[in-house]
Amino acid sequence: MSLIITIGRQFGSGGRDVGEKVAEYFNIPFYDKELVELAAQKSNISKEALKEVDEHATNSFLYSLASGNYSMRGINAPIYYEMPINDKLFIAQADVIKEVAKRGSCVIVGRCADYVLENENVDVLSVFVYGSVDYRAKRVMSALDITQAKAKDKVLKTDKQRRTYYDYYTSKNWGVMSNYDLCIDAEKFGIEETANMIINAAKKKIK
């Protein structure tokens, strides 16, 4: 039985590290920033251009997501041509997410993957990883070698960006517990134990 593990995360919470550990344990593919490269290949837009808008929303999505029919195959050329690059990236990534999910078990970080796969015929364990602002700022300080003030500012700004992105493309609320199967405070449990909790939940789901 295949299982897709999607991980939403607050910035600096360690969601990527957690996802890598889970993927390593199960020996399954891991997708995070790799989705940008795959989307670039699918959309024929440069990887560098897409990186600039990754997980950034626009305010004028020209193609309705209400029907759930967001696919490059379902949009006529004139409409697609007029779309902001953010929306082209979202659609290309959604196609990629569906494709990799149908290949078999994997871990996908961010990019509204839990929502994109809602109506697909795949089993999903959706997770959200979080922690206090101070905890995450300390991690960011260490990782980027910046001051505490700059780290905290980056945490808050990136959280706002991710919230806007998720809420905009899904019409749901980012980080709200009812939207996920499992929400874990990485500050309380640490990266290793957070990964172990997801691994144990996944094992139960695939029994």
DSSP summary character for residue 185 = E
Helix axes 186-205, 15-26, angle to 10 degrees: 30
User: How far is Cα 150 from Cα 144, in angstroms, rounded to an integer?
Assistant: 10
pLDDT in tens, 55-79: 666 654 444 443 344 444 445 444 5
pLDDT of residue 207: 73
Beta-carbon contacts of residue 79 (< 8 Å; ≥ 6 apart)? 62, 63
How many residues in total does the chain contain? 207
pLDDT of residue 35: 82
- Reading the chain (207 residues) residue by residue, the pLDDT tens digits are 799 999 999 999 999 999 999 999 999 999 998 887 887 787 777 667 666 666 666 654 444 443 344 444 445 444 555 677 778 778 888 999 999 999 999 999 999 999 999 989 999 999 999 999 999 999 999 999 999 999 999 999 999 999 998 998 888 999 999 999 999 999 999 999 999 999 999 999 887
Read off the tokens for 84.
């902001």
pTM of the full structure: 0.86
User: How far is Cα 129 from Cα 143, in angstroms, rounded to an integer?
Assistant: 18
CATH code at 108?
A: 3.40.50.300
pLDDT of residue 40: 78
Count structural domains, the chain: 1
Amino acid identity of residue 146, one-letter, is: I
User: Which of these, 114, 118, 119, 61, lies nearest to 91 by C-alpha position?
Assistant: 61
Read off the tokens for 150.
């700059």
Residue 135: give the domain boundaries: 4-205
Cβ 185 vs Cβ 131: under 8 Å: yes
Beta-carbon contacts of residue 143 (< 8 Å; ≥ 6 apart)? 12
Bridge partner residues of 127 (DSSP):
7, 182
Bridge partner residues of 6 (DSSP):
108, 126
pLDDT of residue 181: 96
